[in-house]
Structure 1
Amino acid sequence: MRLTKDKATKVPIWVKFFNVPFEYWDSDGLSHIASVVGIPLFMDQLTEKGSRVSFARVCVEVEATSTLPLMFKVSCEEEDVVVKVEYQGLPPKCEHCMVFGHDTTKCVKTEVAALIKIQKETENNPDPGWETIKAKGKRKVGDSNMPTVSESHVEPEEDVLQNLEVG
């Protein structure tokens, strides 16, 4: 059994619609209005009964690829009425992956892509103040061609201080 995490490309959310014309205040009219945002699933009880008319509340399935309007116009008796929209419980959406569940600023794929871009830029355009040095190989132990510092040239700090005081 292999566990996998499905990409959340669609989520159901509650949406409030304000300033809904009275002519649209039935299941067909509210379904038409909610279709601007996504696929209408169902209304809450107060909206269904018409007990609260200050706003309509509809559960709508929205896709991560869609843009969610904050307002839109509806024609009503030769007039355009602006319906305002408020989204409740909208999860974070990644514009890079086009999924719900994480924000674009916290997207791992975006961060990796940015790091790869920086790496390619530095490889193609090295900084003129820096010089790339490549190792030519390893020195074998006991190789006499490499100069070494003999212990006779190194003086302890105390001896140096004593020589300065005497001199």
Structure 2
Amino acid sequence: MYKKISKALLIISICTIFIIPLKISANEYTINDLIENGKSFDKKEITIKGEAIGESLKRDDHTWININDTTNAMGVYMRTEDANKVSKFGGYSKVGDTIDVKGTFNRACSEHGGDMDIHAKEVNVIKEGKKTIEIIEKNKIYTGIVSTVIVIFMGYIVYKKQK
């Protein structure tokens, strides 16, 4: 009994000493963490990982890139040379580059009209994007065909009754 308790305490101690501080020191959060706790993260250095989505928006020597980390999406303002590292953006039938962004979180950025954003200091591509194949299930195709036939038939009936 005491051996089991001592083993459990040893594992908890190891996790507390080594694993938890690594997460805290990395300052890596989700976008939802930032949105839901914006006041506590405001003007702090953070790290975010996410998929580059949409397209880049160049503004002089800086560029906006939106990233999505599956919890939410947010705009990242970065130097154009950092933005040029991103070659693929996610969208329909495409997965964008996964990027690691280190920068300052702004809950209400005075430079950008009060919007919530991240000003990147360092951007790295950690996984290259790719095209995906959209597979449509046969049931959906059949349902679409049957629904179309029904709508056309109902339209024909209404047309005949109005004549």
Q: RCO (CA 8 Å, sep 6+): is it higher in 1 or 2?
A: 1
Structure with greater helix share of residues:
2
Of structures 1 and 2, the larger Rg is shown by: 1
Q: What's the TM-score, normalizing by structure 1? A: 0.23
Q: What's the TM-score, normalizing by structure 2? A: 0.24
